[in-house]
Amino acid sequence: MKKIDVVSKRPIWLSVAAFFIVLSLVFIFTKGFNLGVEFVGGSEILVRAEGNMVEQDLRQALVEISPDFSAARVTRVRSVGDPANVVKFSVTVSKTFEVEEKTKIVEQLESKLAQKGFKAEVVSFNETGGTAAEEIRRLTWRAVLITLAAILAYITLRFNFIFGVGAVAALVHDVIVTLGFFSMFNYEINVPAVAALLTLIGYSLNNTIVVYDRVRENMKKFKGKDIPALINDSINQVLTRTINTSLTTFIVVFVLLLFAGNTIKPFAFGLSVGVLVGTYSSIFVAVPLVMKWVKYR
């Protein structure tokens, strides 16, 4: 593979990263997120039916009951051990209902589905209140921040503080850009999406550590060598390995995005974007960003 001159084109690589950060922030603050029930509160209805009922049949029956269900998320749930003719669906909507309303909705839903020729029953009708949703949001951001702080401490102990700052900056870039793509394409932010972000942090950090470790080895091995040349050589030495690893991972999660059910799509989408963004930041952001201080040391 032809050697890439990362150092001399450092302003270009960092400008590309800055552009996507700004673009993502524009979408995040203007369009916002499509937050799941876990983060805004609401209700979840689990429906069990026999026959060939599909999502559209259930959605149509719900909309006939109340316009509140027009924006509901209807996903098929697959459970191990269910008979072949039995299907289950999860319906989530960002609204809570009184006890009388819930009873009425259950009766009407089962009746309307029976009229369509489906033997169906509402297995459960659960709610997530505003207080619980607020706690989930707070704990989610706390988990992300604690993860970044722990990574900074680890990289500082493993390498030095400057490398730690570069690694955290690259991870912040990854998270912001991935969230920006969630906003652009209106993918739902739910618990699987948060799992994707945390997985992305670990994956991207692994790539960054590989690059940092090669830079450190070469700094010990070739003392006195020109730092820009040393960094270029270090990045190119691990470039093939990084691209091959990222490509195989991307193929798997992208296939999952194409063929998985709606429940897992936010996770697959987050990782599909994150693998590409994380690979770019590990090579073109993490080391070039701290090159000036490395050279000074």
List pLDDT tens digits, range 1-48: 567 788 888 899 999 999 999 999 999 999 988 877 777 777 888 898
Distance, in Å, from the CA atom of 170 to the CA atom of 277, rounded to the nearest integer, reads 10
Quick one: pLDDT at residue 134? 65
State the DSSP code for 2.
Answer: P
Backbone CA torsion sign across 124, 130, 134, 137: positive
Asked if residue 192 and residue 168 are part of one domain, the reply reads yes
* Residue 5 maps to a domain: no
3-state DSSP call for residue 43? strand
Q: Are residues 257 and 147 in the same domain?
A: yes
Identify each DSSP E strand in the chain by its residue range: 34-35, 42-50, 73-77, 86-93, 119-128, 188-189
Token pair of 228 as six digits = 């820009």
Domain boundary among 110, 128, 146: 128
Q: If you count DSSP H runs as helices and E runs as strands, how many of each does the chain have, helices first?
A: 10, 6
Q: Is residue 244 part of a domain?
A: yes
**What confidence score (pLDDT) does residue 184 get?**
93
For tokens 């490509």, name the residue.
247
Residues 136 and 121 in one domain: no
Range of the domain at 235: 10-36+132-296
Q: Are residues 224 and 207 in the same domain?
A: yes
Calculate the alpha carbon distances from 8 to 12, 95, 232, 288 in Å: 9, 54, 9, 10
End-to-end Cα distance, the chain: 31
**Phi, psi dihedral angles at 54 (to 5 degrees):** -115, 175
Distance between CA 200 and CA 64 in Å, rounded?
Answer: 41
- Amino acid 245 reads T
Q: What is the pLDDT of residue 272?
A: 95
For residue 77, the domain's CATH number is: 3.30.70.600
In sequence order, the 6+-apart residues with CB closer than 8 A to the CB of 38 are 128, 133, 136, 190, 191
CA distances from 46 to 5, 51, 121, 192, 277 (A): 55, 16, 9, 19, 36
**How much is the pLDDT for 81?**
62
* Eight-class DSSP state of 90: E
Same domain, 209 and 292: yes
pLDDT profile of the chain (297 residues), mean per 10: 80 94 95 78 84 86 87 75 79 82 90 87 77 65 81 81 86 94 89 88 89 87 81 89 92 90 85 95 88 64
Domain count, the chain: 2
Please state, in angstroms and rounded to a whole number, the distance separating the CA atoms of residues 152 and 148: 6
Of the residues 61, 93, 128, the one at which a domain ends: 128
Residue identified by tokens 């707070």 is 138
**CATH number of the domain to which 160 belongs:** 1.20.1640.10
Burial of 172 (0-12, 13-18, 19+ CB in 10 A): middle
For residues 180 and 271, state if they share a domain: yes
Confidence (pLDDT) at 28: 93
DSSP label of 68: G
* Domain boundary residue, one of 128, 147, 164: 128
208 & 238 share domain: yes
